[in-house]
Amino acid sequence: MSTPNIQDLQNIAEQGHITIIETALDGNYMGYYDNATRTIIVDNTLNPTQYRCTLAHELIHAKYEHTGHDPKNENKTRQETALWLINIIDYIQAEHIYDSNNILIGIELNVTQQVLGDYQNILKETIHN
């Protein structure tokens, strides 16, 4: 199963009648979702990997019609983003090839270190439960 690329994510937004606006944001946020206007704002200085991860994250906020910044919603969204963007087979192969070097694994999987870390936390929780 392949994970979505940027074009796939943009198509999902279009199909959901969600507008994507790329503009400069302050340093605290890479993106956010406004449920009232069904608009995703993405920082226009992001590299393609950051853009992909941010857009996926904000699409999940849109899916659940999140408003505001609720820590519980944010945690669920981060977990769902990681599961959406990382395929377990690809992860296992990358971890094996790069000997647990998270920088190289993230590059291979086209995800940010935050998304990779969230995915690894999910795996740890699954193993320990």
pLDDT tens digits along 10-36: 999 999 999 999 999 987 889 999 999
For tokens 């790329």, the residue is: 22
pLDDT, residue 63, reads 97
Of 60, 49, 63, give the one whose Cα is nearest residue 6: 49
Tokens, residue 98:
């790069």
> Coil, helix or strand for 42?
strand
- For position 109, which CATH number holds? 3.30.2010
Would residue 113 count as lying in a domain?
yes
Q: With cut-offs at 50, 70 and 90, classify the pLDDT of residue 1.
A: low
- Amino acid identity at 125: E
Q: State pLDDT tens for residues 30-82.
A: 999 999 999 999 999 999 999 999 999 999 999 999 987 888 999 999 999 99
Query: Distance between CA 24 and CA 5 in Å, rounded?
Result: 22
Question: Based on the structure, what is the number of domains in the chain?
Answer: 1
Would residue 1 count as lying in a domain?
no
Q: For the chain, what is the mean pLDDT?
A: 95
Domain that holds residue 69: 6-128
